[in-house]
Amino acid sequence: MKKECSVVFDVLPLYLENMVSEDTAVFVREHLENCSDCTAEFERLKSGRQIDEAETPQSGHDAEVITAVKKKIARRIFKIVAAVCLIFAVLFSAMLLYTGISYPVTRDNISLSAKADGGYTYIVLETKAGKSLSFESKTEDVLNDQNEVCGRRITLYHLKYHNSFTKNASSMSWGRPLQDEEPYMEVVVELENDDILQISNEEVARPVGSGNGK
């Protein structure tokens, strides 16, 4: 091996990494053009470096690595967003199911009572907490023995209840002044299976001394 060759052998790794001065680079380039031994060594070093780069990503591959990581993060975010959307959809559906389905009303679901207050009698229909009631109603005259109108009858039918998010029991009431010419009032609630709840204001009006009846 020529003296020049041993010098070139020594600097080839640096030359490969562009870490030699311009003069040295020119010297190495010219030598490689005329020396097959050094060219062979140069090719060997170059292919070895390529294998190294393939095995461990260097700065040249950073952009690709960052892109891959970004894609991975984007996919993960998409999955999280999709999961959150799914959870909300399920909750919303559950809420609709909870409030949207109507159930037949039995006497366990409601209570009917009568009370007197300030010259009025009231009939009160109460619904359990967390239930909301829907129904249709009709009002008819109530006749006494002489076929005179003495009061009215309110009939509730087609009762259904829905679950609701209200915490308190809901109630509705019908009032009638005791001094009215037709003070009698009764409420009839038609329930499932021909079950009927019925109450009249006489149940509270009598102790007060109202003479009128049906």
User: Measured from the CB atom, is 35 or 112 closer to Zn ion?
Assistant: 35
User: Measured from the CB atom, is 35 or 142 closer to Zn ion?
Assistant: 35
Binding window for Zn ion (CB under 5 A); candidates: 28-36, 49-57, 149-157, 162-170: 28-36
Minimum gap (Å) between residue 37 Cβ and Zn ion: 5
User: Measured from the CB atom, is 5 or 178 closer to Zn ion?
Assistant: 5
**Interaction mask 61-80, Zn ion, x per CB under 5 A:** --------------------
List, in sequence order, every residue forming a beta bridge with 163; answer none if it has no partner. 131
Name the residue type at position 40.
Answer: A
What 3-state DSSP class applies to 46?
A: helix
Minimum gap (Å) between residue 18 Cβ and Zn ion: 20
Binding window for Zn ion (CB under 5 A); candidates: 27-35, 71-79, 111-119, 138-146: 27-35
CB within 8 A of 53, min separation 6: which ones? 60, 61
Query: What is the rounded CA–CA span in Å between residue 64 and residue 47?
Result: 22
Tally helices (H) and strands (E) across the chain: 5, 8
Binding flag, residue 5, Zn ion (CB under 5 A): yes
Q: To 5 degrees, how large is the angle CA 190–CA 196–CA 200?
A: 100
Assigned token pair, 169: 């029991």
- Contact present, 75 and 67 (Cβ < 8 Å): no
Binding flag, residue 35, Zn ion (CB under 5 A): yes
Minimum gap (Å) between residue 56 Cβ and Zn ion: 30
User: Measured from the CB atom, is 37 or 140 closer to Zn ion?
Assistant: 37
Minimum gap (Å) between residue 5 Cβ and Zn ion: 3
Query: What is the rounded CA–CA span in Å between residue 66 and residue 30?
Result: 40
Out of 28, 38, 123, 191, which residue is the one contacting Zn ion (CB under 5 A)?
38
Minimum gap (Å) between residue 28 Cβ and Zn ion: 10
- Contact present, 123 and 173 (Cβ < 8 Å): yes
User: Measured from the CB atom, is 3 or 167 closer to Zn ion?
Assistant: 3
Phi, psi of 165 (to 5 degrees): -95, 10
Please report the beta strands in 23-166, taking only residues with DSSP state E, as ranges in sequence order. 102-104, 110-117, 120-127, 131-143, 149-163
Minimum gap (Å) between residue 54 Cβ and Zn ion: 28
User: Measured from the CB atom, is 5 or 112 closer to Zn ion?
Assistant: 5
List of residues contacting Zn ion (CB under 5 A): 5, 35, 38
